[in-house]
Amino acid sequence: MSEGASLVMESSENGTDLSQDDNGTIVEMPEDTILSQQTSVNLVPFIGQRFVSQDAAYEFYCSFAKQCGFSIRRHRTRGKDGIGRGVTRRDFTCHRGGYPQMKLSEDGKMQRNRKSSRCGCRAYMRIVKRADFNVPEWRVTAFSNIHNHELLKANEVCLLPAYCTITPDDKARICMFAKAGMSVRQMLRLMELEKGIKLGCLPFTEIDVRNLLQSFRNVNRDNDPIDLIAMCKKLKDENPNFQYDFKLDGHNRLEHIAWTYASSVQLYVSFGDAVVFDTTHRLDAYDMLLGVWVGVDNHGMTTFFGCVLLRDENIQSFSWGLKTFLGFMKGKAPQTLLTDQNMWLKEAIAVEMPETKHAFSICHIISKFSDWFSVLLGSRYDDWKSDFYRLYGLELLEEFEEEWREMIDKYGLHDNKHIISLYALRTFWALPFLRPYFFAGLTSLCQSETTTTFIQRILSAQSRLDRFVEQVAEVVEFNDRAGSKQKQPRKSQKVCLKTGSPIESHAATVLTPYAFGMFFVFYPVITVSIFQTHTCPAVGV
């Protein structure tokens, strides 16, 4: 029996029996073969194929496997580097070769059988080291491409872990994007545009990027939270009106932290009736959810009320954030609160702020429409979206209910889960249900975009976690200065009286143009009742 055949008859370390009968023909190596180039990816491995190194053989077989629809892994070897002749044989197998093995845990018990993709596939390639004229080379002595499982398609095989590789250049850009405050999805979209490739065709996935960012975080995981808390303490020593609170987990690691500035507490006294609590962003470099409380002043300028970083996204975390915020603001809850369509947050608000009218931001809902309906409706998607905008802005509840039914019939959306959910939660987002409440114009698309822009500036401040609180303060201060400059020309704007009533004339003298527009254009129902009692300080000059 030849050496090549005898090697194939041996059992593998994980139970894969690479036998001659199961794995194809094994023959002696012909002498008239040539060294294969790594770039010859369209070739099929063959007995006698020659490579200049193990790595060259691996790259060749890896390219072949990717074209076929599977990935490979290094398997069994003969010999060891640095001992005697070193490694003289190497087996490469399909990633689904062998079977998962049960292992003993530290307490001596068998570990649970975790799900594995291994199914005993016998596809493999074997190379053996030879030295002709004292020049070492590696030759293929056995090869089989017979699989006991389905091979993946081209758009699926790229998602295998073996092909989800991130180059050093891409790692550097991902790190830079993270420090700039970009979300993982934004990073992927931007890199697709930079590389000029189709959507979803990067050689790595969102999970790979998150795992990479996690590895970045692990380097300073223990120091960053300590530095962040120390920074808050430093700011508190400098200004007693600065407020912060934090919570550590059972391992003495930072779980949550929230803070607000002295100027923010003062602004909340006047403009804290209508608040946006945005929790749609994460500090990806530190794997924490970022919550930002903002509002709008009497000139329509975004005002900052506070920040919170949460390790987990659940009811308990949101409840901690809400209670802490109320503590900062001496127990004063907002009259109305706009958030994303997050059910955990919804439940937490119902418990911690039972008297507050909770609503969903229409901007966050609309941002999901493309994924939900564009493929389903096809060429009718734009028409449906126009109909939805019209429904959203209706005045009367009866009109909304009637035209919603007509829209469902028109587009055949009776069984669509997203439509069913939207209708069930209509009192949280549709304007006919929200008009009796004061939202200070925050429900408008224009104001939502302004709020989003401000939050993006906050996200861009995350260069180092220990300085994040200071950097947010710089963003807030810059926003206040910019707002002051824009308020001057707004004060000189004239308002247009539409009714000539005494209440309207009086309001024009005591309200800013923005506040006047909010009351007499968007909230005509509550305007009379407010001015019959007093002039609301939150919207005065």
35 part of a folded domain: no
Is the domain of 379 the same as that of 520? Answer: no
* pLDDT (0 to 100) of residue 480: 59
Is the domain of 298 the same as that of 407? Answer: yes
Tell me the pLDDT of the chain averaged across its residues.
Answer: 76
Most confident option among 28-42, 44-58, 74-88: 44-58
Residue 541: pLDDT band (50, 70, 90) is very low
472 part of a folded domain: yes
Query: Which stretch of 13-17, 383-387, 499-503, 529-533 has the lowest confidence by average pLDDT?
Result: 13-17
503 part of a folded domain: yes
Is the domain of 409 the same as that of 346? Answer: yes
Is the domain of 518 the same as that of 425? Answer: no
Alpha-carbon gap, residue 129 to 12, rounded angstroms: 19
Is the domain of 346 the same as that of 253? Answer: yes
Is the domain of 406 the same as that of 308? Answer: yes
Residue 5: pLDDT band (50, 70, 90) is very low
- Is-contact 172 119, C-beta < 8 A? no
Give whole-number Cα distances, 216 to 173, 202, 483, in Å.
Answer: 13, 21, 37
Is the domain of 313 the same as that of 428? Answer: yes
More confident residue, 45 or 220: 45
358 part of a folded domain: yes
- Is-contact 246 308, C-beta < 8 A? no
Is the domain of 263 the same as that of 192? Answer: no
44 part of a folded domain: no
More confident residue, 104 or 71: 71
The predicted model gives 437-459 an average pLDDT of: 77
Is the domain of 135 the same as that of 253? Answer: no
Give whole-number Cα distances, 83 to 79, 80, 87, 384, in Å.
Answer: 7, 6, 8, 72
How many domains, the chain?
A: 4
- Is-contact 282 343, C-beta < 8 A? no
39 part of a folded domain: no
Give whole-number Cα distances, 208 to 23, 95, 323, 438, 529, in Å.
Answer: 34, 18, 35, 44, 56
Burial class (CB in 10 A: 0-12, 13-18, 19+), 80: exposed
Residue 246, H or E segment: strand 243-248
More confident residue, 536 or 166: 166
Residue 195 has pLDDT above 70, yes or no: yes
Strands (E), 196-242: none
Query: Which stretch of 14-28, 139-153, 290-304, 443-457 has the lowest confidence by average pLDDT?
Result: 14-28
Alpha-carbon gap, residue 216 to 330, rounded angstroms: 38
Residues 500-510 have pLDDT tens digits of 666 666 666 65
Residue 537 has pLDDT above 60, yes or no: no
Q: With 0.75 as the threshold, say if the pTM is over it.
A: no
Percent of the chain that is helix, strand, coil (3-state, to 5)? 45, 15, 35
Boundary residue ending a domain (133, 158, 183): 158
The predicted model gives 412-433 an average pLDDT of: 93
- Residues, the chain, total? 541
Is the domain of 423 the same as that of 452? Answer: yes
Helices (H) and strands (E) in the chain, counts: 22, 12
Mapped onto helix, strand or coil, the DSSP state of residue 113 is: coil
Is the domain of 292 the same as that of 422? Answer: yes
Residue 503: domain span: 491-540
Sheet holding 50-51, edge to edge: 50-51, 135-144, 124-132, 89-94, 72-78
107 part of a folded domain: no
Boundary residue ending a domain (181, 206, 221): 221
11 part of a folded domain: no
Boundary residue ending a domain (188, 205, 221): 221
* pLDDT (0 to 100) of residue 346: 94
Is the domain of 338 the same as that of 473? Answer: yes
- Mapping DSSP onto H, E and C, the string for 333-368 reads CCCEEEECCCHHHHHHHHHHCCCCEEEECHHHHHCC
